[in-house]
Amino acid sequence: MCKKKTKKKMNQPVRCPYCGSIAHIRPAAEIYHDAQRTDELYVCSKYPICKSYVSIYPGSKTPMGPLANGDLRNLRIRAHRKFDRIWQTGIMSRQDAYRWMADFFCLPLREAHIGMFSEYRCEELIKKCDSILALNEKAAS
C-alpha cells in the first residue's frame, strides 16, 4: 500500500524580493490613501522606503503573487491590458486565451496568472500579444 505524500503548509513569512524584509498585512486604504478600500495587502516592512506590496486573496492570508515594486506593478497592468484585448476583441475566448498563455510559457494553467509574472514574462507577454493583435488586425482588413 502506497502512502500518499502530503505537503505541509508551513507558515513561513512573506518576504520582499527586493530588500529581503518581512512583509506585513496592512489595509489597502493606508497604501492607496482611499478610505473606501476594504481589502488588504502584504506590504514590505521597509515601506515607504521599499515600495513593494501585493494584494491578498479575499478572505485569506494568501498573497496573489510575489511582492512587486512600482515598475513591476505597472508592467503587470500593461501586460494584463494587452492580454485582455485578445479575448475582449473575440480573437479567443477568455478561457482559451488563458490556455494559450499557459502554453506559451510552458506553465500549468493554474500558474498562468500575470500577477505572478516577473518583468521578463510581462515583457514577453506584451510582445506576443502585440503580434497576435497585429496579425488579427491585418486579417480583418
> What's the pLDDT at 46?
97
Residue 63 has φ and ψ, to the nearest 5°, of -70, 150
* Cis preceding linkage at 48, omega within 30: yes
> What one-character DSSP code corresponds to residue 113?
-
Long-range contacts of 85-89 (CB under 8 A, 24+ apart): 85/129, 85/133, 86/129, 86/132, 86/133, 89/133, 89/136
> What's the pLDDT at 56?
93
How confident is the model over 35-61, as a mean pLDDT? Answer: 95
What does pTM read for this prediction?
0.81
How confident is the model over 30-47, as a mean pLDDT? Answer: 95
> What's the pLDDT at 11?
76
Work out whether strand 40-44 and strand 53-55 pair parallel, antiparallel, or are unpaired.
Answer: antiparallel
How confident is the model over 68-85, as a mean pLDDT? Answer: 96
Residue 97 predicted with pLDDT over 80: yes
Residue 95 predicted with pLDDT over 70: yes
Report the percentage of the chain scoring pLDDT > 70: 91
